[in-house]
Chain A
Amino acid sequence: MTSNLLGIQIIGVLFALLMFYLTFLYLRRKEFTNKESIFWFGAWTIFLFLAIFPKGLDYFIKTWLTFGRRLDFFIIVGFMFLIGMLFHTYTIVRKNQQKIESVVRRIAIEKAKKGE
């Protein structure tokens, strides 16, 4: 049990370090603003902390939220986060789709008006 948990923790730490590196790359390429970078560095720091000290939230998880197991909490929160991100991504894609449509259609009409 202990060795399994350790394995999961190692994977979690490696994942967090990889994400730190990717966030740093995005910042260096100026594809992330400072604000975005702070958000993601913060998120990976929390993730790293929880991977190293999973018991850190035990009081909160078991007493306040009354989850029987820590893993249940992480699975449920993980799913909620993923569904939230999916919805957020959907709205962005939809908005971009509408913007692209509007631009493409406007270019077509303007070009015709100029007689190109």
Chain B
Amino acid sequence: MKTIIIIPCHNEEKNISKVVFDSLKYSPHVLVVDDGSTDKTPQNAKESGATILKHIINLGKGAAAKTGCDYAYEKGFDSVILIDGDGQHDPCEIPRFVEQLNQADIVFGYRKFSKNMPFVFRFGNQLINLVTKVLYGLNLKDTQNGYRAFKVNIYRKIRWKAQDYSMESEMIANVGRYKLNHKEVPIQTIYSDNYKGTTIIDGIKIVLNMFLWRLN
């Protein structure tokens, strides 16, 4: 299976080299989608051995991931691994995703929620998980986790419109709509001080969007 690791990122000059370097151990095809960074993210990623796609302006994680996945689709890859560029996902878990992908169309990573995670994030995540279950019939442990893998032949079905962090939920909504075969794998998450992920406002937007997507 020809696998590509796609890393959407924005201003991650400190972390991107390590993420690329570690990812290259599991696939020779590592693609960094630089979403309009103003620092040395693309240079560092290129020097570390990744292929670079560069957005000339910042569009958002959803748009960057979509650019990477469109590229993978056009280049004829068989499977895609999506990981974050801020170093919170450990590439050493990629083989487990690939292994699970033999039995499923899409594999979701899930974090084990600990008390170290802020209450508002735990609550928000559980709420979105519940809405996902009610609206789409998918019982996922961590709907907001960006560490995922899927077969490229389902990409046209799960392709999202969202430009921002709600892409993760929109992808799940499409998985539910087409009743695609899915699996989950537990992952370790390394939290950094420089958190740039989903905010409370994003969470509210995601929940509202999930109701709208259900109408489609």
Contacts and interface: CB of A to CB of B under 8 A. Distances in A.
A28 to B, nearest CB: 31
Contacts of A97: 163
B54 A109 contact: no
B70 interface: yes
Contacts of B59: 100-101, 104-105
Interface residues of B, number: 16
A104 B56 contact: yes
Which of A97, A104, A108, A112 gathers the greatest number of chain B CB atoms within 10 Å?
A108
Contacts of A112: 51-53, 71
A104 B59 CA distance: 8
Contacts of A108: 33, 53-56, 67
Interface string B58-81: 010001001100110010000000
Contact of A111 (B54, B57, B66, B74): B54
Interface in A92-106: 97, 100-101, 104-105
A1 interface: no
A107 interface: yes
Interface in A60-105: 97, 100-101, 104-105
Contact of A107 (B33, B56, B74): B56
B77 to A, nearest CB: 14
Contacts, number: 35
A104 B55 contact: yes
B54 A105 contact: no
Contacts of A105: 55, 59, 63, 66-67, 70
A97 B53 CA distance: 20
B9 to A, nearest CB: 13
A109 B56 CA distance: 11
A112 B55 CA distance: 11
Contacts of B57: 100, 104
Contacts of B55: 104-105, 108
Nearest to B67: A105
B59 to A, nearest CB: 6
Contacts of B33: 108
A80 to B, nearest CB: 26
A104 B33 CA distance: 12
Contacts of B70: 105, 109
A109 B63 contact: no
A110 B51 CA distance: 13
Nearest to B53: A108
A101 B52 contact: no
A100 B57 CA distance: 9
Contacts of A104: 55-57, 59, 63
16 contacts: A97-B163, A100-B57, A101-B59, A101-B163, A104-B55, A104-B57, A105-B55, A105-B63, A105-B67, A105-B70, A108-B54, A108-B67, A109-B53, A109-B71, A112-B51, A112-B53
